[in-house]
Structure 1
Amino acid sequence: MIELLEGRFFKTFIAVMEEKSFSRAADKLGYVQSTVTTHIQFLEQACKQKLFHRLSRGVKPTAAGEKLMKYAYQFVHLGASIEEAMNEIEQPQGTVYLRMQESFFLTRFSPFIQHFVKEYPEVKLRVESGFHHDILDQVLDHAIDFGIVPRDPQRNDIVFYPLVEEKLIFIASNALMMEVEREGLHRLSKEVMISFGTDCLYHTQASMAMQEAGIDVKEAIEHPSLEMIKQSVQCGIGFALVPEIAVQRELDEGDFALLPISQASYSMHGLIVHKNRELSYPARLFKSELIERSAASIRKL
């Protein structure tokens, strides 16, 4: 089977999986659609399995297609690693793929990116946003080199490197805070809790804290970005649990009020990588630089 396989077939397979369409995969790769069809047919012949169900609006992977996915990522990654290993003889170059929560990127990560790309201009960082569970899934499937998550997954196949402990706080508008001071915390049971959604661990921690405080939250709304959450709270739409660092300026300027809900909540963000991932030279550089700079920041506190 292996002698029939080529890296371009796997790249095409991954594009079809991600785009859920032969035509969109062709557009993404710069191919005509017949080329995509041919590549998938070669893979199906090599695997002796049908990989996709053809639907009226795109395609859906079969059980064999789902199983092949993580190996396809590994095959493509191996090819890239070989190329990068040859390149590192001269200077570090290649691509590092990672995923993290948007709030962590905005409050913690962007300064590190500026440092890293200045030090290693030939290394490209490909950063995507996500939440704990889908970040973990991407690492487990070998789709990315690293994830940054707000909690140790505590899995035998994942290595977790602690980076920074994040303090989480409940914020509200000044008007809502005045009502809470008048009526007590149970006033929040009439309000909306705003979060990134149930996929985010911050939402889970907020729900637990509210339950411990005896507050029954009847309604919650989901926003895709930290800025939308902050603007909604400031407009008086509801309250939210967010990293303190993300709203420190607004708190100092009096734009938000700090809700006195239980004791402070903390989240330990860390870098995760698959235990069996063969890291490229640029990825190893990225990991060592990030861990070293995070440790240096902690020592300054």
Structure 2
Amino acid sequence: MIELLEGKFFKTFIAVMEEKNFSRAADRLGYVQSTVTSHIQLLEQACGQRLFHRLSRGVKPTPAGLKLSKYAYQFIHLGSTLEEAMNELDQPQGTVRIRMQESFFLTRTSLLIRDFIKEYPKIRLQLENGFQHDIVQQVQNHAVDFGIVPQNPNRPDIFFTPLLEEKLVFIASNDLAEKVETESLGALSRETFISFGTSCVYHTKAGRLLQDAGIEGNSALEYPSIAMIKEAVKCGIGFAFIPEIAVKQELEAKQFKLLPVTAPIVSTHGLIVHQDRELSLAASLLKEKVIGYFCNDAEKSPTN
């Protein structure tokens, strides 16, 4: 089987899987669509399995395709790592893919990324947004070099390095907070809970905390960004559960108030990497930078 496989087949396979469409994959790779079709057919012949379901508006990986994706990512990673190893004899370079929650990127990594790019201008960073489950999945599938997650996934195939403790709080508009002060926490049962959605661990954690406090029956709204969540809270649409640092300025400006739903809750963010991932020099340098930036700086603690 190995004699029938070529690296370009795997690159085409990954492009089709990520784009979910042969035509878009061809545009991404600079091929004509017939070349993409040919590559996938040859790969299916080599594997002896159908790799994609052809749908009316695109394609979807078959179980065999999903299984192959892990090895395809590893194959591409090995090739790029070899190329980078040769190139970085002069200066570190290459692409590093890291996935994290949007709220963590916005509040914690801007200065880190700025300094890293200045120090290593030939290293290209590919920053991706996600939540706990899909970040862990991408690391498991070798689709990214590493990720940053809000809690330890406790998986035997993933190394977790704690970075910092993040204080999480319930916030509301001034009017809603005053209503709670007047009527007790039970008033929240008639209010809307705003979050990133059920894929976010903050949503799940908040649900348990509200239930423990006897607050049930909330309707829920999902927003894709922390900026939209804050705007919704400001407008009085409902209340939210987010990292305190993300609303530090608004709290100081008295645009929001904290809700006394529970004692302070702390989430331990950490860096995750697959135990079998052979990091390139560029990825190793960024990993070292991230760990040093958070673990050696007391100012990053949630109490500040």
Q: Give the TM bin, normalised by the shorter chain.
A: over 0.9
Does the Cα contact within 8 Å between 2:294 and 2:300 map onto a contact in 1? Answer: no
- C-alpha distance after superposition, 1:173-196 (max 9, x if no partner): 001111111111100001000000
- C-alpha distance after superposition, 1:2-28 (max 9, x if no partner): 122111110100111111111111112
2:231 alignment partner in structure 1: 231
User: Which residue identity does 1:77 align to in structure 2?
Assistant: H
Gaps of 5+ in 2: none
**How far 1:300 moved relative to its partner?**
7.5
2:22 alignment partner in structure 1: 22
**How far 1:299 moved relative to its partner?**
7.1
Residues 97-136 of structure 1: pairs in structure 2 closer than 5 A: 97-136=97-136
| Distance in structure 1 (CA, Å) of the matches to 2:184 and 2:299 | 40
User: Which residue identity does 1:224 align to in structure 2?
Assistant: P
Aligned residue for 2:296, secondary structure, equals: helix
**How far 1:155 moved relative to its partner?**
0.8
Compare 214-223 and 125-134 and name the one that shifted more. Answer: 214-223
Distance 1:241 1:300, change over 3 A: closer
User: Which residue identity does 1:107 align to in structure 2?
Assistant: T
- C-alpha distance after superposition, 1:282-301 (max 9, x if no partner): 00111111111111213786
- C-alpha distance after superposition, 1:140-169 (max 9, x if no partner): 000000111000001110000111100001
Does the Cα contact within 8 Å between 1:192 and 1:217 map onto a contact in 2? Answer: no
Residues 133-172 of structure 1: pairs in structure 2 closer than 5 A: 133-172=133-172
Q: TM-score, normalised by structure 2?
A: 0.97
Q: TM-score, normalised by structure 1?
A: 0.98
| Distance in structure 1 (CA, Å) of the matches to 2:282 and 2:110 | 18
Percent identity between the two aligned chains: 64
User: Which residue identity does 2:52 align to in structure 1?
Assistant: F
Aligned residue for 1:143, secondary structure, equals: coil
Does the Cα contact within 8 Å between 1:193 and 1:217 map onto a contact in 2? Answer: no
| Distance in structure 1 (CA, Å) of the matches to 2:96 and 2:259 | 40
CA RMSD of aligned residues (A): 1.1
Residues 125-274 of structure 1: pairs in structure 2 closer than 5 A: 125-274=125-274
Gaps of 5+ in 1: none
**How far 1:272 moved relative to its partner?**
0.3
Does the Cα contact within 8 Å between 2:164 and 2:300 map onto a contact in 1? Answer: no
Does the Cα contact within 8 Å between 1:164 and 1:298 map onto a contact in 2? Answer: no
User: Which residue identity does 2:23 align to in structure 1?
Assistant: S
| Distance in structure 2 (CA, Å) of the matches to 1:70 and 1:51 | 13
How many aligned residue pairs are there? 301
| Distance in structure 2 (CA, Å) of the matches to 1:7 and 1:200 | 35
| Distance in structure 2 (CA, Å) of the matches to 1:75 and 1:58 | 25
| Distance in structure 2 (CA, Å) of the matches to 1:39 and 1:103 | 39
Does the Cα contact within 8 Å between 1:107 and 1:245 map onto a contact in 2? Answer: yes
Distance 1:228 1:299, change over 3 A: closer
Hey, which bits of structure 1, 4+ residues long, moved more than 3 A? none
**How far 1:89 moved relative to its partner?**
1.0
Aligned residue for 2:254, secondary structure, equals: coil
| Distance in structure 2 (CA, Å) of the matches to 1:142 and 1:39 | 22
